[in-house]
Amino acid sequence: MDKRKLDYVPLESSLASDYVWKIQTDLRIWSDSLEFKPERFLTTHKNVDVRGQNFELLPFGSGRIVCLGISFALQMVHLALAGFLHMYDISIPSNAKVDMTETVGLTYNKATPLEVLIKPHLHLPSFMD
């Protein structure tokens, strides 16, 4: 069943952040839509097309001004990420759970900055020393 609620409820607050929050919660597609669960796209939404056909996920936008670099980007992202994971050990300073709380602005930001330790894992070629 499509859980999206399309009629819009008037605002009780004039704050832009409350406005965005209300749209997000009213139009939610998943019951746990505010949780960071990228793995949802490996299970229930594994056939979502990121090229702008399914509005659940539009990383490249959609329609007439959709990203022109989609095909290039989809190949390069894998290559860059694989290279990065292959060459470095990535950890966080304390073993605490990463706080994924967001703040709303022009885009979503993490409320607390992420501190990451990146250690070379392989012997780097001399030009990268």
Q: Is 9 in the site for ligand HEM (CB under 6 A)?
A: no
Map 56-120 to HEC letters.
CCCCCCCHHHCCCCHHHHHHHHHHHHHHHHHHEEEECCCCCCCCCCEEECCCEEECCCCCCEEEE
Q: Is 57 in the site for ligand HEM (CB under 6 A)?
A: no
Q: According to the annotation, is 47 in a ligand binding site?
A: no
Q: Is 68 in the site for ligand HEM (CB under 6 A)?
A: yes
CB of 73 to ligand HEM, least distance (A): 4
Q: Is 10 in the site for ligand HEM (CB under 6 A)?
A: no
The span from the CA of 92 to the CA of 72, in Å, is 31
Q: Is 77 in the site for ligand HEM (CB under 6 A)?
A: yes
Note the residues at the interface with ligand HEM (CB under 6 A): 59-61, 65-69, 72-73, 77
